[in-house]
Amino acid sequence: MTDDPITTFVVTDIEADGPSPLANSMLSFASVACDVTGKVLDEFEAVLTPRSDRKPSPDTMAWWDTQPEAWAHATENPQPAEIVMPRYADWVESLPGFRVFAAAPMIFDGLWMDHYLSTFAGTRVMGGPFRSRQIFRGGGVCLYTMAGTLRGAEYLKWGMSRVPAAWYGHIEHTHKAIDDARGFANVLAKLFEISQDLEKHEATESMYK
């Protein structure tokens, strides 16, 4: 299976102390750069210093109390976001071909990364007609949506917990960002494999201008 031109998928998972980047802090994140077959090209992992202008969510912190090992992994040896995010942007740009952001779901992990990249690195997860630095191409890939549709599941059964363990490469979802990103990278490769067997519907002309 090939993908021409070369596309690198940057599969990313984040951990935070609350649900919103406008109120809470991202604690850690990890990205696995892979090709369409799931071959890993590189990885990036970071732990961030919580923002002084944000506060943890009590509900989220109560959940973290039940995950002591993952909490330690997400909080040990943090670095300021203003140092980490520009370094991450440089890393993304070092990857081959078109870089495409991927997450499960895009609306959560993608939203957090977009906010932090915009705030601390002058770029975004989204690619488009922007004058700012662009490190990714297009609107990204939501594995949650892709997995739900390719499995033929009804919407209320799209959850990633319903995806077969084999699709994750039997990597346990530990809430350690790097473990979860690696598992999602395997899911992405499986979804592309499935998509190759589907009937192709090529658009000859778009109504969108």
- pLDDT tens readout for residues 92-119: 999 999 999 999 999 999 999 999 999 9
Q: Decide if 63 is inside a domain.
A: yes
Q: Please, what is the average pLDDT of the chain?
A: 93
pLDDT band per the 50, 70, 90 thresholds, residue 3: very low
Q: Decide if 203 is inside a domain.
A: no
For residue 111, what is the domain's CATH number? 3.30.420.10
Write down the pLDDT at residue 132.
Answer: 84
Q: Decide if 206 is inside a domain.
A: no
- pLDDT tens readout for residues 176-192: 999 999 999 999 999 99
Q: Decide if 201 is inside a domain.
A: no
Give which of 103, 105, 28, 113 is closest to 71, Cα–Cα. 28
pLDDT band per the 50, 70, 90 thresholds, residue 128: confident
- pLDDT tens readout for residues 138-155: 999 999 999 999 988 999
Q: Decide if 69 is inside a domain.
A: yes
The number of C-alpha atoms within 13 Å of 207 and in the hemisphere containing its C-beta is 0
Q: Decide if 35 is inside a domain.
A: yes
The number of C-alpha atoms within 13 Å of 84 and in the hemisphere containing its C-beta is 19
Mean pLDDT along residues 160-189: 95
Write down the pLDDT at residue 199.
Answer: 66
Q: Decide if 113 is inside a domain.
A: yes
pLDDT band per the 50, 70, 90 thresholds, residue 1: very low
Number of C-beta neighbours around residue 169 at 10 A: 14
Range of the structural domain that residue 51 is part of: 7-195
Write down the pLDDT at residue 93.
Answer: 97
Mean pLDDT along residues 192-209: 68
Q: Decide if 144 is inside a domain.
A: yes
Mean pLDDT along residues 2-9: 77
The number of folded domains in the chain is 1
Write down the pLDDT at residue 127.
Answer: 84
